[in-house]
Amino acid sequence: MVEKQNLTSLGVPKDDFLDHVRRSLGRTHPVVPPPLHLPLTENLADLEGRAAAARERLEETRGELADRFEGTARARNWNVFRTSSAEESIGYITQLAGRLGISRAARADQPVFGELGVDSALRNTGVELFVAAHDESTSGPRVRDRIIESGLGITGADYAVAETGSVVVVPRQGLSRLVSLVPPVHLAIVRPKDLVESIDDVFLFRRLEYLRNGGDMGSYLNFITGPSRTADIEMKLVVGVHGPREVHLVLLA
């Protein structure tokens, strides 16, 4: 094992680099620019006010949002199953597992799974379900191996964006980066409260999270908009390169 040396700053020292940039701009001293849209140090109270107003707006238009999200998601090649019945949504998931003929599936550890009770239903159909969450027995490479072996990855959604038909996942404790990426099929469960109107809403809420947590909104965030795609050979569309070829949405609304 190579001893971990400190790699804090290789290359040009920061101040020299910035000084060169500054001189290229014809300045000799640092200048604080006036804010472009919003102050970068917006205070928490103001941001909370804006976020509360946005939440109210979303609450009022919930039904409309669900319709719009369903439409854009279908247009981006999600297979959408919309239902307000927990039973039907579980039925959809077990049927999908049956159609795919898989023996293993992996799911994230998010609150929506406690609300639905998918686990026993899947296990009853003979699928070995792995909950990709951190504990003593499943940590590290084992989590990864179990996800790789899975034919289906199931997650909730942190946000579902009506504007773009995207599911946004914010990987963290209980939500591996790989569950929605490595298995050939991904299924996301969207609750009404996950719905937002636009990508602006997502960034507003993330910004609030950032300020609330003293400057941390987590290490990763992914907008997922349909299956993995490429058109790199003769501009012919092929679905499913490195990510899932088939993606499903259970929309509980």
Partner 1 sequence: MAEVKTREFVSASDSAMKDASLRRALRQVGGGFNEARLEAIEEVSWETWEEWREEARRTKIHALENLDYYLELLHDRVTAAGGHVHFARDASQANSIVAEIARSRNVKIATKSKSMVSEELDLNQSLEANGVEVYETDLGEYIIQLAGETPSHLVAPALHKTKEQVSELFHQELGVPLTDDIEEMARVARRVLREKFLSADLGISGANFLVAETGTLVIITNEGNGRLCTSAPRIHIGITGMEKVIPSLQDLAVFLRLLPRSATGQRLTSYVSMVTGPRRNDDEDGPEEFHLVLVDNGRSRLLADPDLREALYCIRCGACLNICPVYGKIGGHAYGWVYPGPIGAIVSPALVGLKEAKDLPHASSLCGACREVCPIRINIPRMLLHLRHRLAESPLETENATTTGERQAAQAYSWLMSNPAALSAAAKVGRLVQKPFVSGGKVSKRVPLPLVSKWTGGRDLPALPRQTFREMWAQGLESVAELRE
- Site residues for partner 1, 77-96, by CB under 8 A, read none
By the rule CB under 8 A, 28 interacts with partner 1: no
Site size with partner 1, rule: CB under 8 A: 91
Token representation of residue 206: 């993330």
Token representation of residue 81: 């199953």
| Most distant CA atoms of the chain, gap in Å | 71
- Judged by CB under 8 A, which stretch of 54-62, 63-71, 187-195, 202-210 contacts partner 1? 202-210
Q: At closest approach, how far in Å is the CB of 185 from partner 1? A: 13
Binding to partner 1, residues 42-61 (CB under 8 A): none
* Minimum CB distance to partner 1 smaller for 151 or for 174: 174
Binding to partner 1, residues 125-164 (CB under 8 A): 132-134, 143-144, 148, 164
* Minimum CB distance to partner 1 smaller for 18 or for 86: 18
Out of 64, 241, 251, 252, the residue judged to bind partner 1 by CB under 8 A: 241
Q: At closest approach, how far in Å is the CB of 204 from partner 1? A: 7
Binding to partner 1, residues 171-190 (CB under 8 A): 171-178, 181-182
Judging by beta carbons within 10 Å of its beta carbon (0-12, 13-18, 19+), is residue 210 exposed, middle or buried?
Answer: middle
By the rule CB under 8 A, 24 interacts with partner 1: yes
* Minimum CB distance to partner 1 smaller for 126 or for 203: 203
- Judged by CB under 8 A, which stretch of 93-101, 152-160, 188-196, 211-219 contacts partner 1? 211-219
**How many Å apart are CA 90 and CA 187, to the nearest integer?**
12
Closest to 78 in 3D by CA, of 172, 147, 182, 161: 161
**How many Å apart are CA 245 and CA 229, to the nearest integer?**
8
Out of 58, 80, 100, 199, the residue judged to bind partner 1 by CB under 8 A: 199
- Judged by CB under 8 A, which stretch of 96-104, 111-119, 120-128, 223-231 contacts partner 1? 223-231
Which distant-in-sequence residues (6+ apart) come within 8 Å of 144 by Cβ?
178
* Minimum CB distance to partner 1 smaller for 94 or for 172: 172
- Judged by CB under 8 A, which stretch of 29-37, 87-95, 115-123, 188-196 contacts partner 1? 29-37
Per-residue HEC secondary structure of 136-149 comes to: CCCCCHHHHHHHHH
* Residues facing 169 on adjacent strands: 222
Closest to 96 in 3D by CA, of 236, 200, 244, 235: 244
By the rule CB under 8 A, 40 interacts with partner 1: yes
Edge-to-edge order in the sheet of strand 246-251? 79-82, 246-251, 185-190, 152-156, 104-107, 128-131
